[in-house]
Copies of this chain bind each other. A is one copy, B any other.
Amino acid sequence: MSRLGTLHLIPVSLGEAPLERWLPAETQAIAQNLEIYIAENAKTARAFLKQVEVVRPIQDILIHTLDKRGTPTATLATWLQPLTQGQDIGLVSEAGCPAVADPGAAVVQQAHRLLAPVRAHVGPSSILLSLMASGLSGQNFAFHGYPPVKADARAKQLREWEQYSKRTRQTQIFIETPYRNEALFAALLQELQPQTQLCIARALTTDEEWVRSQTVAQWRKQAAPNFAKHPCIFLFQA
- Interfacial residues, chain A to chain B (CB-CB below 8 A): 9, 18, 20-27, 97-102, 104-112, 117-120, 122-125, 127-145, 170, 204-205, 209, 211-214
Instruction: Write out the residue numbers on chain B whose beta carbons fall within 8 Å of the beta carbon of A25.
Output: 20, 25
Instruction: Write out the residue numbers on chain B whose beta carbons fall within 8 Å of the beta carbon of A24.
Output: 20-24
Q: Which 8 A/B pairs are nearest by Cβ-Cβ distance?
A: A108-B135, A100-B138, A109-B135, A120-B132, A142-B142, A20-B25, A120-B133, A120-B129
Knowing A130-B120, A132-B120, A134-B108 are in contact, say whether A170-B145 is a contact too (CB < 8 A). no
Chain B residue nearest in CB terms to A132: B120
Kindly report how many copies of this chain are found in the complex they form together.
2
A7 to chain B, nearest CB (A): 9
- Is A145 touching B140 in the complex (CB atoms < 8 A)? yes
Distance A214 CA – B117 CA, assembled complex (angstroms): 13
- Is B132 touching A100 in the complex (CB atoms < 8 A)? yes
Knowing A122-B123, A122-B124 are in contact, say whether A132-B18 is a contact too (CB < 8 A). no
- Is A135 touching B122 in the complex (CB atoms < 8 A)? no
A123 to chain B, nearest CB (A): 6
- Is B119 touching A135 in the complex (CB atoms < 8 A)? no
Chain B residue nearest in CB terms to A113: B214
- Is B133 touching A108 in the complex (CB atoms < 8 A)? yes
Chain B residue nearest in CB terms to A168: B144
A95 to chain B, nearest CB (A): 13
